[in-house]
Every structure is written in C-alpha cells, then in structure tokens.
Amino acid sequence: MVKNKFISVAQRTEKFNKMVNRISEITGLDHKYIRKSGERVLDTWEEKNHREISTLFTANSSFRQEEIQKMAKTLQRYLETKVDSGVVFDKIETIARFWLNDLFINF
C-alpha cells in the first residue's frame, strides 16, 4: 500500500502518529497494524467520495463532522476483531474522532 499523501505532511504525520500511539496503548495492538488500518480508512474515504481527503479542510463544518464520525467508526470496525473489551472498543472511536478533529479543525 502506498503511503497516504495526506498524512505524509510532517504536521499531519505527527498528529496521525499520536492517534495511532494512543490507540495502540489502550488496545495493546501493534502500531503498524493500527497505522495501516488508519491509512486504509483515509484511502477508502477518498475512493468512495472521489475526492482528496484534504477537501475536508474547506468543507461545511457539519459535513466535515459527519465524515470524521464515519471515519472513526470505520477504524473502530477495522479493529473490532482484535479487541476483546467493549470499553476499549468504544474508546477507539472516541480517540480516533478526537485526533481526526484535531487534524482537520485545529490545523
């Protein structure tokens, strides 16, 4: 898989890595697996919507929030089979939503 162009920008890479690290801490899953899953979420979003993910920077705030929520849920689903705890499972979405918001809103 080619590294996602969106997160190859240094500031975005740092924020994305913080999300990966935090999810890895609470789940005990490998960083590489979480990172690849996160990149897959971004790539899938671009393919599905036929636009670059960076367009969310200028998108309507309600649309952006809906799409961030969908991405967080998708990442949660990708990791679902590897997580045994319901509490940890819920935290994945919360952490992903927080860091994705940070990526797009506090840039």
How does pLDDT run across 47-98, given as a tens digit for each residue?
999 999 989 988 899 999 999 999 999 999 999 999 989 899 999 999 999 9
Give the DSSP letter of residue 8. Answer: G
Mean pLDDT on 29-35: 95
pLDDT of amino acid 99: 93
Q: For residue 103, give the nearest of 32, 41, 26 by alpha carbon.
A: 41
Mean pLDDT on 8-28: 91
**What whole-number distance in Å separates Cα of residue 90 and Cα of residue 94?**
7
φ and ψ at residue 5, rounded to 5 degrees: -60, -35
Give the DSSP letter of residue 9. Answer: S
pLDDT of amino acid 1: 40
φ and ψ at residue 74, rounded to 5 degrees: -65, -45
Helices 86-104 & 61-79, crossing angle to 10 degrees?
Answer: 140
Task: Give me the long-range contacts of 20-23 (CB less than 8 A, separation at least 24).
Answer: 22/95, 22/99, 23/79, 23/92, 23/95, 23/96
pLDDT of amino acid 104: 85
